[in-house]
Amino acid sequence: MLQAHLEITGMTCDGCARHVERVLLGVAGVRAADVSYERGTARVTGEALHAATLTTAVHAAGYSVAVGGPTPSRGGLGAEQHPAANTPGVSTRHPPVRVAIIGSGGGAMAAALKAAELGAAVTMIERGTLGGTCVNVGCVPSKILILAAHIAHVRRESPFDAGLPTAPSVVDRRRLLAQQQARVDELRRTKYEDIVAGTSAIEVVRGTARFENALTLRVALAGGGERLVPFDRCLIASGASPAIPPIAGLSATPFWSSTEALASDHIPRRLAVIGSSIVAVELAQAFRRLGSDVTVLARGPLLSREDPAIGAALREVFVGEGIAVLTHAEASRVSYTGEEFVLTTPGREVRADQLLVATGRTPNTRELGLSVAGVDVDHSGAIVIDDHLRTSAQHIFAAGDCTDRPQFVYVAAAAGTRAAVNMMGGEATLDLTTMPAVVFTDPQVATVGLTEAEARRRSIETDSRTLPLDAVPRALVNFDTRGFIKVVAEAGTGRLLGTQVVASDAGEVIQAAALAIRAKMTVHDLADQLFPYLTMVEGLKLAAQTFTKDVRQLSCCAG
């Protein structure tokens, strides 16, 4: 056994000492830690003490540390063999903490960069294209397509047609696709490939990883052969893939997932969409605006996990744009004749030139051999993690779409950064209580916090107000009053619990609500704030004011 003596500054009480002690006990190889606030010291005992790992753990916990020369305890190694023998308490011979990361998307990259910053040697394993879903086949290409579709739409139709004559667009999908792909390639290069190439502590291994045991990955290399990657800590950030529902005949047809839809160089004349969640509604509206006749088949209402008013408002918009929305309609069979798809639903058949299946995403975990490493998954195959991003194996962490957390890239990145801190001995947590979410339809849908139904499930009594957009000056001057702003507060206290917005630029409004919830503001606090006039976010103030007054009786910019 070995011992190391640490001199710690920044502790202000015995509670700090207990915190540092817990941090040190979480470091690999440490068997005991005795921390004294009064003396500002820690005595650490273990089988293998790496000075860099100990100092990184204490630094990550928020304290400064110097390492005194560790000494072998009875039966331990002599000074010549000790990893910190060359310099006063700092090893120059022992390798840094080895961190293996499966994946290279937003969560993986955030973790790799943070772990490298904290002194780790990082091996990132990627089986496909560097950058993961968001930049390659998700957020970036979809938002480019959606904006192109929006521009095509307003050229054909806008609230100002009387004074600005319409100019129907001819959609050249091949050129739009080339522009889209060029931006995807640019962002992948500048935000992923160049950064990894410029970070010497990160090695990229191309291949498919699988756990050999709890401390080793076996990688089937893309160029042939295999490689073993041993690790001290591992992050699983393997992402997710489109979920394919078990509909009879579907697998035998050339249907699209969102990946194929975004990469297609043509716009189908008739498009059927199975699904009603974020990807389904975003792409359904985009393809309609680019020229397709679109039919949406939904098992329930649109965006069924949200407040029911959201799905109703979006359905009204879709029908107004000529999208056929079949709610509570499931396809029991799909066939393809070589020329068209035929979808059998209760009471009718739906025929289309192309079929898009957008029914969610399934975690990429089945082929990882997680049971060998002692990593648990839930019924959907998602890795179960705690608020420190740890799996059921304490030295293995997970982040992103392969976990049981919301599938948003900004959640993945935040989780990856915090996981890296914890892999290096820290105590960072991921708090999603004020996680904003945006659906990029037109109008946009944005939410944060609790809905009324969610609050009731938590036995919280609520008081809510819904402000129609015809009471928001920005919406009036836009000549676009589709949507609403809903504020959910705790009854009695007025504490803000949640906000749901359907509006142009709802995604720009929602962060103000998120900050207000995090600050534990009441609706009265919010109503008393200054908001710039003729912005959509001013609607948040007006919605808060409706708890105490009739805002229709106020003049413009009434404080």
Q: Is 140 left (phi over 0), alpha (psi -120 to 50) or beta?
A: alpha
13 is catalytic: yes
557 is catalytic: yes
Which residue's structure tokens are 């440490």? 30
Please spell the DSSP secondary structure of 144-176, one letter per residue.
Answer: HHHHHHHHHHHHH--TTTTTS---PPPP-HHHH
11 is catalytic: yes
Q: How many CB atoms lie within 10 A of CB 22?
A: 13
- Edge to edge, the sheet with strand 226-230 lists 226-230, 216-221, 202-213, 121-126, 98-102, 233-236, 396-398
Write the single-letter amino acid at 361: R
Q: Which residues of 150-163 are buried (b: 16+ CB within 10 A; e: fewer)?
A: bebbbeeeeeeeee
- Residue 354's alpha-carbon distances to 7, 44, 143, 265, 335, in angstroms, are 67, 65, 21, 13, 11
DSSP 3-state of 258:
helix
Which of 109, 124, 134, 424 is catalytic? The answer is: 134
Cβ atoms of 261 and 286 within 8 Å: the answer is no
402 is catalytic: no
Which of 1, 16, 336, 410 is catalytic? The answer is: 16
Cβ atoms of 306 and 453 within 8 Å: the answer is no
Which residue's structure tokens are 């609607």? 539
What's the rounded Cα separation, in Å, for the pair 451 and 462? 9
What's the rounded Cα separation, in Å, for the pair 61 and 39? 18
Tokens of 522: 């009441």
234 is catalytic: no
Cα–chain-centroid distance for residue 238?
A: 13
- Residue 304's alpha-carbon distances to 145, 213, 315, 402, in angstroms, are 24, 41, 12, 22
Residues tagged active-site: 11, 13, 16, 63, 134, 139, 556-557
